[in-house]
Structure 1
Amino acid sequence: MRSNRPYVKLDPAVIEQARQMDLLSYLQRYEPSNLKRVAGNVYCTKEHDSLKISNGKWYWWSRGFGGVSALDYLIKVREYSFVEAVEMLTGITADWKPPPVSVPKDEPKVLLLPPKNRDCNRVTDYLFGRGIDLSIIQDCIADGTIFESVKYHNAVFVGKDESGTPKYAAYRSTIGSSFKGDASGSDKRYSFRLLAREPTNTVHLFEAAIDLLSYATYLKCEGKDYKSENLLSLSGVYQPKKEIKDSKIPIALTTFLNANPHIKTIILHLDNDKTGRICTATLKELLQKDYQIVDDPPPVGKDFNDFLLSYLGIARPTVSRERSDAR
């Protein structure tokens, strides 16, 4: 849809008018045949079922980008030029008014897990190639905390609540892409975790599932029982406020601590980059009054997977290894 029209100067008021319409309103009014309801207030387009629309925003998961307005959609997805998209929207929005702001209802989130593939071969190969112990992978697959999606064969890491009900899921590409994200309806209070089989007063904290699994593998390599430890991921990078006093403790951690009041020690295994170090300093400041805080970053590399690969002598990117290798 890109055109070679000469430069056109648009009135800022016209541009602002074009930005007012959200994508759901646009599709409901002008392309209803292209709109499909997934569940609750989550929609997708019939053209692109991985383009999800929810809470006034949209995201095209298979392409890794998103936006807020119908203007964003026309430019990024339909490939209209900026001027064409603005002119189109201002032409059809002359009599349109934004819907009244509704007070959000405190409704429980509905987790939309992708369909499971008939096997987890690609996910197993991917994780094994990242140095993760095969039996740990198989245990997670057996209890449903890791599976492979039918479409795109992504690795899906599932977080469950105290009753064992899936409440959170994170995607990660297994084909070398940087694609990753959370499933629609994910409740970040219940991030991916491996909990101790018996009560313990310590919890280990990681930024992501792959780091958690790497640490579990490292413990096993050292002859230790990873099932005697609480291992909890934060489901992504924790972003503290500029002022530490204004920062909040990650909701996955507060939920875990509230459910496990016997915890006395929190061991931080966050990344060695600038963000990871800032997050560590922030959490130490926020938590040290009530808990013993131990800073234990990876000895080598940016994160614990980097360290594990170095520890095992595996180059990154990895080459295929026989699964019979004992670790």
Structure 2
Amino acid sequence: MGTISPLKDIDEKRELVLPRRNSTYKHIFAYLIHTRKIDGDVVQEFVKNKQLYEDEKRNCVFVGYNNENEPKFANLRGTGRKQFRKDLWGSDKTYPFHREGTNDTLLIFESPIDLMSYMTLAKIYKIKDLNHHMISMGGTSYLPIEYYISQHPVIKKMILCLDNDQEGHFFSQQIQERFGERFQILKHLPTAKDFNEDLIVIHNRLNDYEKTEGMQL
């Protein structure tokens, strides 16, 4: 009896199926705006662009699309007390959660929350013309960088906004070695571990300052 060979024409790659939407957005709004301190207009921008929604389990769903506007990547982030995050089965990191820019600079982040936190910090510091392209790698991966720059040949500069930890430093060096001959590469490190931690610290300081000012009136 002969051995059975695997069929070479079977595509074993599973298709991405997005989780069903919840009937409300209140849990992700509470988590992102009140817990993570992200500006409400920033959150609404990604909701409007269908890059962010709430699923039936009350998770944040961050979505990346291909050129045909088909969802190809999804990252889930829990909104409860228990820390939960994962890439949905069938996700392709090639297609990042991103914000389209209008100039020649690409900002690179590890997570969607860091990207949105950076946008919020820009608003706090009254930076009006934040026209850079922005992507979240969904961790540390070359795939979304390679894809995004291939689709945006105008990009000449990269600013690495990765986590201020050993893994972030290591991958920053890897990006420098891989892309340094083709692009100008700069770093913008957060003061804490990441830009969301920076945002929370600054938000709390502003609140404390406002309370102190109010007591003096």
User: Which TM-score bucket, shorter chain as reference?
Assistant: 0.7 to 0.9
Asked whether 1:123 is paired with 2:15, we answer no
Asked whether 1:302 is paired with 2:193, we answer yes
Asked whether 1:138 is paired with 2:44, we answer yes
> Equivalents in 2 of 1:226, 1:232: separation in Å?
17
Query: In the TM superposition, what is the alpha-carbon distance from 1:109 to its structure 2 partner?
Result: 5.5
Matches within 5 A, 1:272-283: 272-283=164-175
Aligned to 2:62: 157
Query: Structure 1 residues 226 and 171 mapped into 2: Cα distance closer, same or farther (>3 Å)?
Result: farther
Aligned to 1:285: 177
Query: In the TM superposition, what is the alpha-carbon distance from 1:110 to its structure 2 partner?
Result: 2.4
Write the letter of the residue equivalent to 2:165.
Answer: D
Aligned to 2:53: 147
SS at match of 1:200: coil
Match of 1:312 among 203, 210, 215: 203
Matches within 5 A, 1:46-85: none
Write the letter of the residue equivalent to 1:148.
Answer: E
Size of the aligned set, in residue pairs, is 203
Aligned to 2:214: none
| TM-score normalised by L of structure 1 | 0.58
> Equivalents in 2 of 1:187, 1:163: separation in Å?
15
Q: Which has the higher contact order (CA 8 A, sep 6+)?
A: 2
| Contact kept? 2:103, 2:131, Cα under 8 Å | yes
Matches within 5 A, 1:213-232: 213-225=116-128, 228-232=131-135
Aligned to 2:109: 206
Task: Summarize deviations over 1:8-32 as a string: whole Å, max 9, x none.
Answer: xxxxxxxxxxxxxxxxxxxxxxxxx
| Contact kept? 1:158, 1:168, Cα under 8 Å | yes
> Equivalents in 1 of 2:30, 2:195: separation in Å?
19
Aligned to 2:210: none
Task: Summarize deviations over 1:263-300 as a string: whole Å, max 9, x none.
Answer: 100000011111110011111111110000001111x2
Query: Structure 1 residues 284 and 125 mapped into 2: Cα distance closer, same or farther (>3 Å)?
Result: same
Asked whether 1:194 is paired with 2:91, we answer no
Query: In the TM superposition, what is the alpha-carbon distance from 1:100 to its structure 2 partner?
Result: 4.2
Query: In the TM superposition, what is the alpha-carbon distance from 1:136 to its structure 2 partner?
Result: 0.9
> Equivalents in 2 of 1:191, 1:256: separation in Å?
8
Where structure 2 has 5 or more consecutive residues not aligned to the other structure, the ranges are 206-217
Query: In the TM superposition, what is the alpha-carbon distance from 1:213 to its structure 2 partner?
Result: 0.6
Query: Structure 1 residues 234 and 265 mapped into 2: Cα distance closer, same or farther (>3 Å)?
Result: same
| Contact kept? 1:109, 1:187, Cα under 8 Å | no
| Contact kept? 2:122, 2:130, Cα under 8 Å | no
Report sequence identity in percent: 31
Matches within 5 A, 1:261-272: 261-272=153-164
Query: In the TM superposition, what is the alpha-carbon distance from 1:105 to its structure 2 partner?
Result: 4.7
| Contact kept? 1:211, 1:305, Cα under 8 Å | yes
